[in-house]
């Protein structure tokens, strides 16, 4: 149980275009989802926290207009990178938490974004 999927696993896009990454909880309802960014050989950096049906809370330094997060249902959150630039190239990982008061986050397999 507690499986989180991400789609796509890899994506290449051109500068200036937008790309959407999906994060799904497959066998549980995720009241909270988290989006992380990981640079090569570095740790995970939390970008934002999203709760179903409400606006995402972004970490300091993360542009909310550039990284649009939507958590429209209890099993789906999306991250849209708008007007992508090469410096947005990174590994994006989502995680999901089943309910309030639970401590464990279940991580997706990640999405490798390359902007050319």
Partner 1 sequence: AQSVTQLDSQVPVFEEAPVELRCNYSSSVSVYLFWYVQYPNQGLQLLLKYLSGSTLVKGINGFEAEFNKSQTSFHLRKPSVHISDTAEYFCAVLPGGSEKLVFGKGTKLTVNP
DSSP state, residue 59: P
Decide: is 82 part of the binding site for partner 1 (CB under 8 A): no
Closest CA to 90 of 68, 109, 67, 113: 113
**Residue 105 three-state SS:** strand
Binding mask 85-114 for partner 1 (x = CB under 8 A): ------x-x-x-x-----xxxxxxxx-x--
Backbone angles phi, psi at 112, to 5 degrees: -90, 115
Decide: is 29 part of the binding site for partner 1 (CB under 8 A): no
The residues of the shown chain that bind partner 1, judged by CB under 8 A, are 4, 6, 32, 34, 41-44, 46, 49, 91, 93, 95, 97, 103-110, 112
């Amino acid at each position: 149980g507690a499986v989180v999927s991400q789609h796509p696993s890899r994506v290449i896009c051109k500068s200036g275009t937008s790309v959407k990454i999906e994060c799904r909880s497959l066998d549980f309802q995720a009241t909270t989802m988290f989006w992380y960014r990981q640079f090569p050989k570095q740790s995970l950096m939390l970008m934002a926290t999203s709760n179903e049906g409400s606006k995402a809370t972004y970490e300091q330094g993360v542009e909310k207009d550039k990284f649009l997060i939507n958590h429209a249902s209890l099993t789906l959150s999306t991250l849209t990178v708008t007007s992508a630039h090469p410096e947005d190239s990174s590994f994006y990982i989502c995680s999901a938490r089943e309910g309030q008061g639970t401590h464990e986050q279940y991580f997706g397999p990640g999405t490798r974004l390359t902007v050319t």
